[in-house]
Chain A
Amino acid sequence: MSTAVHDHTHGHDDHAHHPTGLKRFLTTTNHKDIGTAYLWFSFAMFLVGGVMALVIRAELFQPGMQVVNPEFFNQMTTLHGLIMVFGAIMPAFVGFANWQIPMMIGAPDMAFPRLNNWSFWLLPPAALLLVASMFVPGGAAASGWTLYPPLTIQMGLGMDLAIFAIHILGMSSILGSINIITTILNMRAPGMTLMKMPMFCWTWLITAYLVVAAMPVLAGAVTMLLTDRHFGTHFFNPAGGGDPVLFQHIFWFFGHPEVYIIAIPAFGVISQVIPAFARKPLFGYTSMVYATASIAILSFIVWAHHMYTTGMPVQAQLFFMYATTLIAVPTGVKVFNWVATMWKGSLTFETPMLFAIGFLFLFTMGGFTGLVLSYTPVDVQLHDTYYVVAHFHYVMVAGALFSAFAGVYFWLPKWTGRMYDETLGKWHFWLSFVFFNVTFFVQHFLGLAGMPRRIPDYALQFADFNMVSTIGAFGFGMTQLLFLYIVVKCIRSGETAPANPWEGADTLEWTHLPSPAPYHSFDTPPVVK
């Protein structure tokens, strides 16, 4: 598939003398190659994490223990979380950033091309560590992706591998983000002022700052775990004067910004897609920028809403509750602006737009259940139930993943020079949309009825909804193979795409570059009026 892309770009650009095959990707410093590598890597990780999710759902198909033993079940919940967050969603959006940001701001490449190559190649070893940890004595980390001590201080070798994997993944995303910040701040074409930048670049600029501020804190937290495990420190060990709750504070100081590290680039993609298919400029651009920045800043002062049940004083609970509900305001501004962009627009419903509207509807629902969970008295009831699982899958899957699908369909013509199959794309959307809701909507009911998460067995009264959820999960999983087929078909035999196949798309990559985008673009910067 990569060679197909290569052949194409080669036809358009005589100066591109680069090796082929794996060596091309090992040595490349080209932002488009690296973007492609990121996207394929994240898709592979998405399948790996997806299979783990299906193991979880298969076990929960019926009450009792049928498919796996409880230890392995716990490893699956842990690795599914870690792989989907750090291996699939984050690299997918870094892939978008690599492909799109230089083209959107009229830069020839990223600011540090060789660093860019290294950022990507840190990922496969980290993924290998995570996958290999399943095969060491004692198995993989089985603590849930939040890695709470004291459990994680006691686990075996798999935990150490997970800690190293997190170190490497963290370093990769920090380096990638430094690159993105520098590119956006220093490499814009003449006339491309910050407030003229496409929204996608703005969201990534803000996200990259979040990454540089939050990821090192996670690295610190897992380093403390590591030294507690092997070097006799007592950060989280009560016997030596430490405190396990301290880990939760440090982890969620990273963990909540992490939620927005995933969500904000997704907002950016949606902010490009909706105006293009509504044939109207983005409504309230300036307010979008400020709303995104406010979400990012607020995300650093709400972390303890993940910890309402740890015995915090009531004043602290109130503070975190109010701060959390406050985030609904800038998020509401964004949703309002997207809807207002569509208002009285000349809407058409190609696949990217379908995914964007699916995102808008389902993400908003996930946002509302988040608002429900932000209220301390309610959260104490729902903490660690399937209601929480339903909530964050509405924002992670229907939010981030749907937005990534929207982005892939939107930019595939520019990346490959070929159109995807519109009929199949629509099938992909509707199957994903239906199966997603079959899987996760019923989990709200399970959680409200008190089914705890991360437990491989459950009481009989939860049986029916769990069966429905598992059927949905397998349907959703199979649907993603259709996505793979659509992308491969597009690369191999899609119809030739014009430079701008979307009537309403007006950013530089559509207006100034042919499809597929040449291997080297904007060697001479365009002039932006």
Chain B
Amino acid sequence: MNRLSENRSMLKRLTIFAVAMFAFGFALVPFYRVICEVTGLNDLLRPDAPLNTQVDTSRWVTVELDANTRGLPWTFSPNQRSVRVHPGELVHVVYEVRNNSGAPIAGQAIPSYGPKVAAGYLRKMECFCFQKQELAAGETRQMPVVFVVDPELPKDVGTVTLSYTFFELNGATPKPDAGVTG
């Protein structure tokens, strides 16, 4: 029957379309990444361009340093809890991380900022968070962060928190019952 074959071919085309849309959902993943890269949005692994600017000696900003781990048997802390800096000044701080387990583990540190508005003004030229960190069993590592607080930082912000959380890289995210170390 003519109509039967017409219906069948329609079914075939629409099924292909549905499957293509399923694939399109996955294609959104690299697409999203490219958009973020091109627009410079949320690219956590890219160092900020150095800032050529005057040091604003009339102003002090306190940068509090924070360190957490999630689901990792690591000890992770900054060498000092906070630094007082002038905006525009190049600042060096050091974090220390130690793998307490008997096996090598890879982790990735993710930065976050408080208050949220400060994220755009804390420019990191060098950071251990730009690549994954692999620690041998029992290894201790000193890791530097070099940053500049942009003098454009809104005047009402006197304290900025720079917080890192290390996540384990191999395997899935731990379930909540796996417990949180650190």
Contact = CB atoms under 8 A, between A and B. Distances in A.
A237 B26 contact: no
B11 A178 contact: yes
Interface of A: 111-112, 115, 150, 153-154, 156, 174, 178, 181-182, 185-187, 212-221, 224, 228-232, 235, 237-241, 243, 245-246, 249-250, 253-254, 311, 313
B7 A240 contact: no
Interface string B149-182: 0000000000000000001111111011000000
B22 A243 contact: no
A246 B18 CA distance: 21
A250 B14 contact: no
Given A235-B29, A239-B110, A186 B22 contact: no
A239 B21 CA distance: 28
A232 B19 CA distance: 24
Contacts of B170: 232
18 contacts: A111-B11, A150-B173, A153-B173, A154-B175, A178-B14, A182-B7, A186-B6, A213-B21, A215-B18, A216-B25, A220-B23, A228-B173, A231-B172, A232-B171, A238-B110, A241-B45, A246-B29, A246-B32
Classify the secondary structure of B's interface with A. helix
A462 B19 CA distance: 47
Nearest to B71: A239
A19 B107 CA distance: 63
- 8 nearest A-B residue pairs (beta carbon): A220-B25, A239-B167, A216-B22, A216-B21, A217-B25, A178-B14, A182-B10, A111-B7
Nearest to A251: B25
A217 B29 CA distance: 12
A212 B11 CA distance: 12
B103 interface: no
A229 B172 contact: yes
Contact of A250 (B10, B28, B167): B28
Interface of B: 3, 6-7, 10-11, 14-15, 17-19, 21-26, 28-29, 32, 36, 39, 41-42, 44-45, 70, 107-108, 110, 116, 167-173, 175-176
B7 A217 contact: no
Nearest to B172: A232
B22 A219 contact: yes
A246 B32 CA distance: 7
A186 B70 CA distance: 57
Contacts of B70: 239
B169 A185 contact: no
B18 A220 contact: no
Contacts of A253: 25, 28
Nearest to B23: A220
A487 B28 CA distance: 46
A219 B11 contact: no
A186 B3 contact: yes
Given A178-B14, A182-B7, A250-B28, A240 B22 contact: no
A240 B18 contact: no
